[in-house]
Chains A and B, each alone.
Chain A
Amino acid sequence: GESVGLHLPTLSVQEGDNSIINCAYSNSASDYFIWYKQESGKGPQFIIDIRSNMDKRQGQRVTVLLNKTVKHLSLQIAATQPGDSAVYFCAERGNYGQNFVFGPGTRLSVLP
Chain B
Amino acid sequence: EAGVTQSPTHLIKTRGQQVTLRCSPISGHTSVYWYQQALGLGLQFLLWYDEGEERNRGNFPPRFSGRQFPNYSSELNVNALELEDSALYLCASSLVLYEQYFGPGTRLTVT
Contacts and interface: CB of A to CB of B under 8 A. Distances in A.
Interface residues of A, number: 21
Interface string A80-112: 000000000100010011111111110000000
B48 A43 contact: no
A101 B48 CA distance: 12
Chain B interface bracket (under 10, 10 to 19, 20 to 34, 35 or more): 20 to 34
B25 interface: no
B49 to A, nearest CB: 11
Contacts of B97: 32, 93, 96-97
A80 to B, nearest CB: 22
Contact of A43 (B45, B56, B58, B103): B103
Contacts of B45: 99-102
A34 interface: yes
B1 to A, nearest CB: 14
A44 B105 CA distance: 9
Q: Which of A36, A49, A99 has the most CB of B within 10 A?
A: A99
Interface of A: 32, 34, 36, 42-46, 49, 89, 93, 96-105
Interface of B: 4, 33, 35, 41-45, 48, 55-56, 58, 90, 92, 97, 99-105
Nearest 3 Cβ contacts at the A-B interface: A43-B102, A104-B42, A102-B43
